[in-house]
Copies of this chain bind each other. A is one copy, B any other.
Amino acid sequence: MTGKIEQLTIPPRTLMGPGPTDVDPKVLAAMSMPLLSHLDPHFLKIMNELLDMTRQVFKTSNTFAAPVPGTGHAGMEACLINALEPGDTAVVGVCGLFGQRMADIVGRTGADLIVVENAWGQPLDPLAVNEAMNKAKKPKLLAVVHGETSTGVLQPLGSLSKIAKEHDALFLVDTVVTLGGCEVRVDDWGIDIAYSGSQKCLSAPPGLAPVTLNDRAVEVLKNRKRKVQSWYLDLTMLLQYWGKERFYHHTAPINMIYAMHEAMRLLLEEGLDNAFARHARHGRALSAGLEAMNIELPVDPEYRIPHLVVARIPEGLEDAKVRRMLVENYGIEIGGGLGPSKGQIWRIGLLGYSAREKNVLALLAALEDIFRVQGYRGFDPGAGLAAARAVYEGK
């Protein structure tokens, strides 16, 4: 290449994939404020406020509730590698890509890995999980995904938490797509370790992974026999960095912290319950609209992530063509399938700032147009929009 590179231009987009999402202009404005040093007393105040807000969002009184300096996967890795070491056994629930990733990471810790699976598109079966926990002689950890972004399945956590407790194992939960979008109650649900990502329902740009650990988990960290395999993601040092010690660990990603501060502030200003209701309402409207267009929603209604709608691509439509037209003609991005569901499904996110009526209506209108252009006519014109509007009108 090495020609002259021009200043960035960003084409306008409406992000309705499984993340990242659109971001409130207030968050972008906060992110672009001038830098402070990571040791500036004013920045320490911002860190303390962020700790406080992260606790509220996770519904926890844990001392540590703060972002790890990396994307959601960094949070996943930080939690797993700090909790586990060689000689331990972990049970990991896998029914989608993100469960697989957890299993991959556990495999790199030297701990023994027991995978309990279900088909993509299904939640874990508590009986199977219990069996796996029994099989593991003394499981140290049970790790599961709350909302599996690759399939749209919301995993009920109550019985799994109980199983973890009965086996005296840590209960570790991936809340990447659920935190801020629907109920996540770290303390009430007996979650020992949880992580999330900045770029889903928290609606900040990608680059931070909020993590929380309770005292029991911190105790496990303290009693490790060997150093954590990562220095960068060594949570004991991150705890000291965010704690009273203010022990210098890394140079905090200052502007990402600003963004997260503003994103969480806006979320708490709206109120968590209001935000959950908003996510659910737009998810319902979109689901009703798609079903009215005879699009199948393959996930069992009982296990759907409210704000991540998974739709089966109708026969006769080409995944790539539809998504390309959506982007090129309407500036709307939705997600495709991953792994075995590639080409089979769309994953449509109504996350954070993207969860709004205008997006639902614009997408349904755009799909109707594109379906027509591509010769798919298995629906009544206007039916999708009417069904979505009926949800909004409370009919």
A8-B46, A49-B1, A253-B205 are contacts. A32–B28 as well, Cβ < 8 Å?
yes
| A17 at interface by CB-CB < 8 Å | yes
| A23 at interface by CB-CB < 8 Å | yes
Select one of B81, B228, B255 contacting A31, CB under 8 A: B255
Is the contact region of chain A dominated by helix, strand, or loop, or is it mixed?
loop
Q: Which residues of A, 1-56, contact B by the 8 Å Cβ criterion?
A: 1-2, 5, 7-8, 10-13, 15, 17, 19-23, 26, 28-40, 42, 46, 48-49, 52-53, 56
Stretch of A99-107, A165-173, A291-299 that contacts chain B: A99-107
Say how far A222's CB is from chain B's closest CB, in angstroms.
18
- In the bound assembly, the distance between CA atoms of A53 and B265 in angstroms comes to 36
Asked if residues B35 and A13 are in contact (CB atoms below 8 Å), the reply is yes
Select one of B33, B71, B231 contacting A77, CB under 8 A: B231
Chain B residues near A230 (CB-CB < 8 A): 77, 81, 108, 229-230, 233
Chain B, residue nearest A256 (CB):
B207
Chain B, residue nearest A266 (CB):
B7
Chain B residues near A253 (CB-CB < 8 A): 71, 205-207, 256
| A197 at interface by CB-CB < 8 Å | yes
Asked if residues B252 and A206 are in contact (CB atoms below 8 Å), the reply is yes
Asked if residues B333 and A37 are in contact (CB atoms below 8 Å), the reply is yes
| A321 at interface by CB-CB < 8 Å | no
Asked if residues A262 and B73 are in contact (CB atoms below 8 Å), the reply is no
Select one of B52, B101, B197, B265 contacting A251, CB under 8 A: B197
- In the bound assembly, the distance between CA atoms of A333 and B228 in angstroms comes to 34
**A60-104 toward B: CB 8 Å interface, digit per residue (1/0)?**
000000000111111011000100000000000000000001001
Chain B, residue nearest A41 (CB):
B327
Q: Which residues of A, 179-217, contact B by the 8 Å Cβ criterion?
A: 197, 199, 205-207
**Integer count of this chain's copies in the complex:** 2
- In the bound assembly, the distance between CA atoms of A327 and B69 in angstroms comes to 26
Chain B residues near A26 (CB-CB < 8 A): 7
Chain B residues near A205 (CB-CB < 8 A): 35, 253-256
Interface size on A, residues (CB 8 A): 82
Chain B residues near A12 (CB-CB < 8 A): 34
Say how far A254's CB is from chain B's closest CB, in angstroms.
6
A23-B35, A253-B206, A253-B256 are contacts. A229–B229 as well, Cβ < 8 Å?
yes
Asked if residues B35 and A32 are in contact (CB atoms below 8 Å), the reply is no
Select one of B40, B46, B206 contacting A38, CB under 8 A: B206
| A268 at interface by CB-CB < 8 Å | yes
Chain B residues near A70 (CB-CB < 8 A): 69-70, 74, 232
Asked if residues B30 and A7 are in contact (CB atoms below 8 Å), the reply is yes
Chain B residues near A261 (CB-CB < 8 A): 5, 8
| A250 at interface by CB-CB < 8 Å | yes
Select one of B20, B37, B52, B107 contacting A17, CB under 8 A: B37
| A227 at interface by CB-CB < 8 Å | yes
Select one of B40, B228, B262 contacting A327, CB under 8 A: B40
- In the bound assembly, the distance between CA atoms of A5 and B74 in angstroms comes to 27
A20-B251, A40-B333, A71-B253 are contacts. A15–B1 as well, Cβ < 8 Å?
no
Chain B, residue nearest A324 (CB):
B41
- In the bound assembly, the distance between CA atoms of A302 and B109 in angstroms comes to 45
| A258 at interface by CB-CB < 8 Å | yes
- In the bound assembly, the distance between CA atoms of A17 and B8 in angstroms comes to 29
**A99-129 toward B: CB 8 Å interface, digit per residue (1/0)?**
0010011011100000000000000000000
Closest 6 CB pairs of A and B: A207-B253, A32-B32, A28-B32, A1-B52, A205-B255, A206-B251
Question: What are 5 A-B pairs with beta-carbon distances under 8 A?
Answer: A13-B35, A15-B35, A20-B35, A28-B32, A74-B232
